[in-house]
Structure 1
Amino acid sequence: MAIKYHYLKVRDAKDVVVAEFIQSSILDETAIDRVGKEFEQLVLEAATAKKLLLNFQAIEYMSSAMIGKLILLNKNCKQAKIKFKVCNVSGNILEVFQIMKIGKVIEIHKDEKSALDTFSGPSISRWLGLG
């Protein structure tokens, strides 16, 4: 049975499963555990499409423990052969991602449109300025 999402709004954009945070902050342990469960469900939902985008637009504050959940989501996506990317990371959260070098393990995009575009084309060519 599918869980009901409390912290994420999930939708399809073409052939990509897009999950958007609903809350502006995720700080307490109960919320973090719940988000972890929702991430597990996301992997199941994205298993067919093989493409998952996590949109951070609404997030202003999150606990450092959420980084662990994000890394676990990335690992689970890799195991399921799902292309996983994040977008709209800004402010303090972007700073933390840069300090922790999250961009080396998870593809980070400025906005949802540019992230969705990279799913459809040869992203290496686009990254090299050839696409």
Structure 2
Amino acid sequence: MSSPKRLHLNPSGDVTVVTFTDSKIIHEGEIQELGQELFDLVERDGLKKIVLNFARVEFLSSAALGKLISFEKKARNQQAQLILTNIRPEIYEVFAITKLTKLFKIKDDEADALAVL
């Protein structure tokens, strides 16, 4: 497993908690890099239980949302379980408006996410 630049990985038993290192996910190059690092988690590293912790994320662009949707599909195709957590209210509102709350499993905090995986 190589060290990602845009993500911090914290294994917790058979679950890997993934925290974003950037507070703003808006630049195209960074989004592409982030996407590849996420895809590698399930394609190359074979992770099956992933918690994406958004605690540090203050803003993400629509392109970043698109990348998350692609990652969810890729994770599902690899039979990986994915839960999002610690999403700020203003970002959660975007998830709700775009109906992404129906696509993603979202928990309030990391402990809640770990409890269901």
TM range (shorter): over 0.9
Q: Could you say if the C-alpha distance between residues 10 and 45 of structure 1 is closer, same or farther in structure 2, counting changes exceeding 3 Å?
A: farther
Gaps of 5+ in 2: none
- Work out the percentage of aligned pairs sharing the same amino acid: 34
Q: Distance in 2 between matches of 1:5 and 1:38?
A: 6
Query: TM-score, length-normalised on structure 1?
Result: 0.83
Query: Is contact 1:18-1:53 (8 Å) kept?
Result: yes
Partner of 1:84: 82
Q: Distance in 2 between matches of 1:3 and 1:72?
A: 21
How many residues in Structure 1 have an aligned counterpart in Structure 2?
Answer: 117
Partner of 1:108: 106
Q: How far is 1:7 from its partner?
A: 1.2
Partner of 2:37: 38
Query: Is contact 1:23-1:59 (8 Å) kept?
Result: yes
For each residue in 1:62-119, what CA deviation from the matched residue of structure 2 results, as whole angstroms up to 9, or x when unmatched?
A: 1110111111111011111011111001132111011111111110000000000011
Q: Distance in 2 between matches of 1:78 and 1:4?
A: 23
Pick one of 66, 73, 76 that aligns with 1:75. Answer: 73
Query: Is contact 1:21-1:56 (8 Å) kept?
Result: yes
Partner of 1:18: 17
Q: Distance in 2 between matches of 1:97 and 1:107?
A: 11
Q: Could you say if the C-alpha distance between residues 82 and 3 of structure 1 is closer, same or farther in structure 2, counting changes exceeding 3 Å?
A: same
Moved over 3 A (4+): none
Superposed CA RMSD:
1.4
Comparing both chains, which one has the higher relative contact order based on Cα–Cα distances under 8 Å and sequence gaps of 6 or more? 2
Structure 1 counterpart of 2:18, one-letter code: A
For each residue in 1:31-78, what CA deviation from the matched residue of structure 2 results, as whole angstroms up to 9, or x when unmatched?
A: 111111111112136625x21110000000111101111111110111
